[in-house]
Amino acid sequence: MPAPDRQDKAHAAPGASPGVEIVPVIDLRHGSVVRAKAGDRAHYQPIITPLSPTADPVDVATGLLKVAPSPQLYVADLDGIEGRGRDTTSLRRLAAAFPAVRLWVDAGIATRSQAEAFLEEGLGLPVLGSESQSDDRLVRDLAGQAVLSLDFRGDDYVGPDAILATPSIWPERVIVMTLGRVGMGSGPDLERLSTLRRQAPARCRLYAAGGLRDKGDLAALAEIGVSGILVASALHDGRL
């Protein structure tokens, strides 16, 4: 599999706490961007946002990157995650529209062949969601070619225990995805993030996902050593 062609650089949004990287997020379903809330995917609706005239992925990404310039854009391909087939068309459009932005794509990739096919497309970095894995093999195999997402619903970790229990196999970039806080504005899960930061190797950069309210949360994340956070609602709502 080809190695990534460039290195990520930390990039804080205007007004963000130093050292806390803002990674804008879009959630795709059937070719449109939907508004994610509390991880209740069955009820996500096409997004209505002042940042974009439509729910088209390129329009929404343009608005997000205008208010939060970033070298990364996280894309949750819900069709791929939920087993309906990956939205490669939208991913190709995003990659073509933003050649200087690296896509982090969670598309339910769970096998070596799926990962190889994705990397051959050159559409960005695959995100290995723990909820999509059957064991720890793919996390071990991809090493520096993927982002790991440790997925939590409520207090429960979702995925093979071997992934969570073996921090030594975690790649450089690890997302702590608290699905119940996504879109809720209830604050990041600082306790869990702090625990995982202590467990993670020093080489790992931890990214929070879910619950960001405002700049005060960014300062709290910086204090516990979190490198960045995935953000959608706080950008659409103008809270950040």
| pLDDT, tens only, 54-92 | 999 999 999 999 999 999 999 999 999 988 889 999 999
Backbone angles phi, psi at 165, to 5 degrees: -85, -5
Q: What is the DSSP letter of 9?
A: -
Surface-to-core class of residue 87, CB atoms within 10 Å of its CB (0-12 exposed, 13-18 middle, 19+ buried): buried
* Cα-based angle 228, 230, 231 (whole degrees, multiple of 5): 120
The domains of the chain are located at: 27-229
The proportion of the chain whose per-residue pLDDT surpasses 90, expressed as a percent, equals 72
Task: Please determine, for residue 44, whether its predicted confidence score (pLDDT) is greater than 90.
Answer: no
The pair of structure tokens assigned to 18 is 């130093």
pLDDT (mean) for 182-188? 70
Backbone angles phi, psi at 46, to 5 degrees: -50, 140
| pLDDT, tens only, 94-120 | 999 999 999 999 999 999 999 999 999
Could you tell me the end-to-end alpha-carbon distance of the chain, in angstroms, rounded to an integer?
Answer: 38
| pLDDT, tens only, 213-233 | 888 899 999 999 999 999 998
Task: Please state which architecture CATH assigns to domain 27-229.
Answer: Alpha-Beta Barrel (3.20)
| pLDDT, tens only, 10-27 | 444 444 445 789 999 999
| pTM more than 0.95 | no
